[in-house]
Amino acid sequence: MTGMTAEHAEIRVDFHALKSLLSDIFSRYGTSPSTADILAANCAGCERDGAISHGIFRIPGYVASLRTGWVDGTAVPDIVGVSPSFIRVDARNGFAQPALAAAARAIDGAVESTGVAIVATRNSHHFSALWPDVEPFARRGLVAISFVNGLANVVPHGGRSPVYGTNPMAFATPVAGAEPLVVDQATSVMANGEVRLHALANTPLPPGTGVDSDGNPSTDPHAVLAGGALNAFGGYKGSSIALMVELMAGALTGGQLSFENDFGDCVGAQTPKAGQLLIVIDPRRGGNSQFAQRVALLCGRLLDAGQERLPGERRYRNRANAERFGVPISEEKLFHLKALAANGT
Amino acid sequence: MTGMTAEHAEIRVDFHALKSLLSDIFSRYGTSPSTADILAANCAGCERDGAISHGIFRIPGYVASLRTGWVDGTAVPDIVGVSPSFIRVDARNGFAQPALAAAARAIDGAVESTGVAIVATRNSHHFSALWPDVEPFARRGLVAISFVNGLANVVPHGGRSPVYGTNPMAFATPVAGAEPLVVDQATSVMANGEVRLHALANTPLPPGTGVDSDGNPSTDPHAVLAGGALNAFGGYKGSSIALMVELMAGALTGGQLSFENDFGDCVGAQTPKAGQLLIVIDPRRGGNSQFAQRVALLCGRLLDAGQERLPGERRYRNRANAERFGVPISEEKLFHLKALAANGT
């Protein structure tokens, strides 16, 4: 709590206090109380885990989308069980996270009765990381895979103009005796939030990250953000993964494709109106009751082979630190958040 | 049919004649008639489609695995419907393709009644491409995703020794007015069959393809094959996809992990004893009855953006040519195949 004069003095804020502050902001900009709590827990959780490109850095984008009416913060999702295993969710132009929460009971029922839930969500705005969606399933011994599409800002391999969103995919599995194994990655070379962090810091992007508005390679984050686009990771193979995510999340759900997003009059809105496909599987139905032990065996082998760390490990370390000492945040940012919550302008 | 004196004179063989010849070989080395037909159709289909690293090039490997008793060519798969959507298949140390064929009716039933089939296959040898497994579902308007693990010959990102198989994944969707969209790709930088083609031709691998037995980067295909390993594609993100495939195919199914393969006394055997997870989804349950039209829209957009061609396009072109003029094959190879079918030694 020292250093009031330093512009970027970092302090540590209690996680629940941060969550509560963010919930106030969401409420003030027109979300329902339950949606405010869900988004706040998600956003504060990203900040806590060090996933800062999906943390409070996103608040202005959320606020702009809410203020302009681009997203409906009070949407009540429509949940339809189309089969014992298949759940169709219309988020009704609301956020994806409350839609997922609203489907929780249906998902549990499907997994319990058939060992699998296919959750096809459309008309949903997903503006956060994907790991918060899948990690809870792994904590309960389930396997979860999720695909989300977004705003068209990734060029297909060999192409010159954007078609795909950064189209993240995530998967989570239980690990015997350890935290769940959680992978969450954009299919672009870099996540869009990271490009924006580069733009804020005025630092160049690594070569191969993206193209400018003419489709030519560029390392300028501003050029990539202003009419340019990112590349898919891993050449044509990564581009194919982006294609799969686009079709699963945007088409199979009955949602929008990334290139169909059009903000129209909603100037400043940032959240993508897209879709999400979530697959939850109970591994006990798969033929090995010791699934989590098998995952642990594989994880050990990866470290034996020289892999530096397991996916998600850094997040868990940040989380443990934040739970002990608070979430690190600059006083300046905290000041702005408090102003947003108080003024609502 | 000219050029009998040229060592590599290429001729064209009728697809059905090639299939029949391959079926004779499989039968002669101890597979049941139905398994012989299924493997022959698969292998001849790969050759026909120009997927030559999974075509007749693989016959010696199939034969060695059969001769040494490493794989059971007469295995009768055990199919258990554990829920209306979930099918557990024990291939009983047989090949994966006949196991999939044996589960066809159960898969159809699951998809019809619930819109989804999860097919968890274990104790299965998959020694071919994955697209033949998924393409037929797309032809019937369904979406299919498949994951297969294999023999440990891929190092995790940052590691120095192999843990993963080349762990291919495939997906297929219908496209309105066109052939299905089918992606089939190894999660290694290069498919193992291609490395073997480099070794046969004594041509170096592109930099970054793999490591030698000490874990050091190598472009020598012989070094990569003899105790070395391949890299995953796309750095840590591709390595995470390999991890997902390993867990879905090897662990969730109750099958073997790639690094658990041990040929023991079966000297020369090549087929991996592993697992396969197949997910089949009826997109009509997802909320958009025009799914195939939506895929076509996206495909058009990809080409508009400058993407050179769609995944699978080259295979379809080769297939059409082969159906018209026959499958191209060297006389020498055909001679060897005929000798194998006749002598069975």
Distance CA B105, CA B110 (A): 9
Q: Considering CB atoms only, which of A83, A250, A257 is closest to B115? A: A83
* Count of residues in chain A: 345
Distance CA A158, CA A211 (A): 12
Q: Judge contact between B38 and B23, C-beta under 8 A.
A: no
B159 and B259 housed in the same domain = yes
A160 and A260 housed in the same domain = yes
Distance CA A35, CA A26 (A): 8
Amino acid at A274: A
Phi and psi, residue B155, nearest 5°:
-85, 140
User: What string of H, E and C letters represents the secondary structure of chain B?
Assistant: CCCCCCCCCEEEECHHHHHHHHHHHHHHCCCCHHHHHHHHHHHHHHHHCCCHHHCHHHHHHHHHHHHCCCCCCCCCCEEEECCCCEEEEEEEEEEHHHHHHHCHHHHHHHHHHHCEEEEEEEEEECCCCCHHHHHHHHHCCCEEEEEECCCCCEECCCCCCCCECCCCEEEEEEECCEEEEEEEECCECCCHHHHHHHHHHCCCCCCCCEECCCCCEECCHHHHHCCCEEEECCHHHHHHHHHHHHHHHHHCCCCCCHHHCCCCCCCCCCCCEEEEEEEEECHHHHCCCCHHHHHHHHHHHHHHCCCCCCCCHHHHHHHHHHHHHCEEEEHHHHHHHHHHHHHCC
Domain that holds residue A80: 74-188+232-311
Distance CA B277, CA B244 (A): 11
pLDDT at residue A3, rounded to an integer = 40
- So which residues of B are the catalytic ones? 53-54, 194
Low-confidence ranges of chain B (pLDDT < 50): 1-5
Q: Which residues of B touch A187 (CB under 8 A)?
A: 237
Residue A242 has pLDDT above 70, yes or no: yes
In this prediction, residues A57-74 reach a mean pLDDT of: 96
A30 lies in a domain? Answer: yes
CATH number of the domain that residue B150 is part of: 3.30.1370.60
Q: Does A86 sit within 8 Å of B285, measured CB to CB?
A: yes
What 3-state DSSP class applies to A316? helix
Question: How would you list the strands of the sheet with A86-95, edge to edge?
Answer: A78-81, A86-95, A116-125, A273-281, A143-148, A169-175, A178-185
From the list B79, B127, B73, B129, the residue with the least C-alpha distance to B100 is B79
pLDDT at residue B268, rounded to an integer = 92
**Measured CA angle at A148 (ends A143, A151), to 5 deg:** 165
Q: Judge contact between A179 and A255, C-beta under 8 A.
A: no
A49 and A109 housed in the same domain = no
pLDDT at residue A345, rounded to an integer = 54
**Average pLDDT taken over every residue of chain A:** 95
Q: What letters, b where the CB count within 10 A reaches 16 and e where it falls short, cover A94-127?
A: bbbbbbbbbbeebbeebbeebbbbbbbbbbbbbb
Q: Which residues of A touch B85 (CB under 8 A)?
A: 83-85, 114-116
Q: What letters, b where the CB count within 10 A reaches 16 and e where it falls short, cover B164-179?
A: bbbbbbbbbbbbeeeb
A170 and A265 housed in the same domain = yes
Does the annotation mark A53 as catalytic? yes
Amino acid at A4: M
* Domain total in chain B: 2
Distance CA B98, CA A339 (A): 65
Residue A130 has pLDDT above 70, yes or no: yes
A102 and A61 housed in the same domain = no
Q: Does B83 sit within 8 Å of A251, measured CB to CB?
A: no
B317 and B334 housed in the same domain = yes
A199 lies in a domain? Answer: no
What 3-state DSSP class applies to A44? helix
B81 lies in a domain? Answer: no
Residue A7 has pLDDT above 80, yes or no: no
Torsion of CA B292, A129, A120, B116, to 10 degrees: 90
Distance CA B328, CA B321 (A): 10
pLDDT at residue B344, rounded to an integer = 61
Q: What letters, b where the CB count within 10 A reaches 16 and e where it falls short, cover A65-75?
A: bbbbebbbbeb
Q: Does B86 sit within 8 Å of A115, measured CB to CB?
A: yes
Residue A293 has pLDDT above 90, yes or no: yes
Q: Residue B32: CB partners within 8 Å, gap ≥ 6?
A: B73, B74
Distance CA A300, CA A319 (A): 22
Q: Does B298 sit within 8 Å of A163, measured CB to CB?
A: yes
From the list A252, A163, A245, the residue with the least C-alpha distance to B302 is A163
The whole-model pTM stands at 0.96
B1 and B94 housed in the same domain = no
Record the tokens describing residue A3, joined without a space.
Answer: 């250093």
pLDDT at residue B181, rounded to an integer = 98
- Please identify among residues 248-307 of chain A the ones whose CB lies closer than 8 Å to any CB of chain B: 248, 250-255, 257, 259, 279, 281, 283, 285-288, 291, 294-295, 297-298, 301-302, 304-307
pLDDT at residue A135, rounded to an integer = 98
Q: What letters, b where the CB count within 10 A reaches 16 and e where it falls short, cover B25-47?
A: bbbbbbbbeebbbbbbbbbbbbb
Amino acid at B343: N
Q: Residue B338: CB partners within 8 Å, gap ≥ 6?
A: B21
Distance CA A25, CA A342 (A): 8
Q: Which residues of A touch B156 (CB under 8 A)?
A: 302, 305-307
A265 burial class (0-12, 13-18, 19+ CB within 10 angstroms)?
Answer: exposed
Q: Check residue A161 and report its DSSP letter.
A: S
Q: Does A298 sit within 8 Å of B257, measured CB to CB?
A: yes
Strands A86-95 and A116-125: parallel
pLDDT at residue A1, rounded to an integer = 39
pLDDT at residue A344, rounded to an integer = 61
B169 lies in a domain? Answer: yes
pLDDT at residue A192, rounded to an integer = 81
A23 and A163 housed in the same domain = no
**Measured CA angle at A84 (ends A82, A88), to 5 deg:** 35
Distance from CA of B24 to the nearest CA of A (A): 34
B206 lies in a domain? Answer: no
Phi and psi, residue B89, nearest 5°:
-120, 125
B338 and B320 housed in the same domain = yes
Q: Judge contact between B88 and B80, C-beta under 8 A.
A: yes
Amino acid at A170: A
A16 lies in a domain? Answer: yes
Q: Convert the pLDDT of each residue in A313-341 to its tens digit.
A: 999 999 999 999 999 999 999 999 999 99
Q: Convert the pLDDT of each residue in A145-176 to its tens digit.
A: 999 999 999 999 999 999 999 999 999 999 99
A135 lies in a domain? Answer: yes
Record the tokens describing residue A342, joined without a space.
Answer: 């108080």
Q: Considering CB atoms only, which of A161, A171, A307 is closest to B305? A: A161
Does the annotation mark A198 as catalytic? no
- Please identify among residues 10-49 of chain B the ones whose CB lies closer than 8 Å to any CB of chain A: none
Q: Is B164 on the interface with A (CB under 8 A)?
A: no
**Residue A320 CA from chain centroid, whole number:** 20
A243 burial class (0-12, 13-18, 19+ CB within 10 angstroms)?
Answer: buried
A175 and A243 housed in the same domain = yes
CATH number of the domain that residue A40 is part of: 1.10.1530.10
B139 and B245 housed in the same domain = yes
B112 and B100 housed in the same domain = yes
Q: Judge contact between B176 and B297, C-beta under 8 A.
A: no
pLDDT over 90, % of chain A: 93
Handedness of CA B56, B57, B62, B67 (dihedral sign): positive
As a whole number of Å, the CA-based R_g of chain A is: 20
From the list A169, A160, A183, the residue with the least C-alpha distance to A230 is A160
Record the tokens describing residue B110, joined without a space.
Answer: 């699951």
A201 lies in a domain? Answer: no
